[in-house]
Amino acid sequence: MPDRRERLAFSGVRATGRWCQRSVAGDVTLFVEHDEVVVRVEANGEELAVALATLGGASWRTGVLALYLANDELRLQAVDGLDRAWHTLMQRACALPEVARGLRALGTPYVVWADAHARYFAPLLQARRRLEGDEPMDWKVAGFDAAVLAERMRGVLAALSLERYASRPPYRRALEAGLLHASEPMFRRLERLTLAARAVHEGDDARRFEEWRRWAGEVRALFVDADRSWSATRLVLAEEDRRQLFPRG
């Protein structure tokens, strides 16, 4: 993967279409920066820059790199090199979301529930690590499967309940229901993440990066909701442990 700070230049590119609300036709040089893409019109030296965060989408088909803004489409062709431009553009425009910063429960487990804490966050952190590879954007979204995550999280809660009440099914079911209720914000967010992933897969090229940013925002929100859900889940576990230590009657 290229250094994210590196400025990559692609010369000898033929452009047709519109860019930055201007008609562009002829030879250009394409620059893919750390946080923007620049088209330099060779006829007059003018540089038309767009922040990657505002780029609507892009596509790479049959040797043609297409770039999309809100009302513009620019098609680029060259003898070689644009495949690397496409790869770099995808990596930089679809940067991984920061998910752990500022989360209190994720980073500070209580010693008493350290094992439960680790098991609770393990499916989410494992899914997050799969985003760090060099795979295409669609593969990353598919790998962070919200439906699979929801099933794994339900399995974790079921296991925590079973360990406490292996021989008392009614108590086990009651505890599991309480844990599921405490984690409801996280499960609701996983449903929203499923819809956002579908929009990435089914959206057109012109909105590819927009849909990715929405999906990435839902990933970030998922970890926020999981952090809050664990705090509520821990309280349920604490109350259940207290009941076991000090049973009524």
Q: Where are the domains of the chain?
A: 8-93, 104-245
Residue-level pLDDT at 94: 87
Residue-level pLDDT at 101: 63
Cα torsion through 195, 196, 197, 198, rounded to 10 = 50
Residue-level pLDDT at 2: 44
Residue-level pLDDT at 188: 97
Read off the tokens for 205: 């090229």
3/62 Cα distance (integer angstroms): 27
Residue-level pLDDT at 82: 92
100/96 Cα distance (integer angstroms): 12
For residue 137, the tally of other CB atoms under 10 A from its CB is 17
Tell me how long the chain is: 249
- CB neighbours of 87 closer than 8 A, spacing ≥ 6? none
Residue-level pLDDT at 23: 95
CATH number for 8-93 (one of 2.30.29.30, 3.90.1150.10, 2.130.10.10, 3.30.70.3340): it is 2.30.29.30
- The answer to whether the CB of 28 falls within 8 A of the CB of 76 is yes
Where residue 13 falls (left for φ over 0; alpha for ψ -120 to 50; beta otherwise) is beta
In the chain the beta strands, taken as DSSP E runs, fall at 8-19, 22-32, 36-41, 47-51, 57-61, 64-68, 73-77
Residue-level pLDDT at 1: 43
- The answer to whether the CB of 73 falls within 8 A of the CB of 67 is yes
- The answer to whether the CB of 58 falls within 8 A of the CB of 65 is yes
Residue-level pLDDT at 109: 55
234/51 Cα distance (integer angstroms): 42
Read off the tokens for 52: 């990657």
Task: Enter the DSSP assignment of 186.
Answer: H
Residue-level pLDDT at 211: 94
Residue-level pLDDT at 240: 81
Where residue 127 falls (left for φ over 0; alpha for ψ -120 to 50; beta otherwise) is alpha
Read off the tokens for 51: 């922040």
239/246 Cα distance (integer angstroms): 10
195/140 Cα distance (integer angstroms): 15
* Residue type at 187 in one-letter notation: F
Residue-level pLDDT at 95: 81
pLDDT less than 50: residues of the chain: 1-4, 111, 249
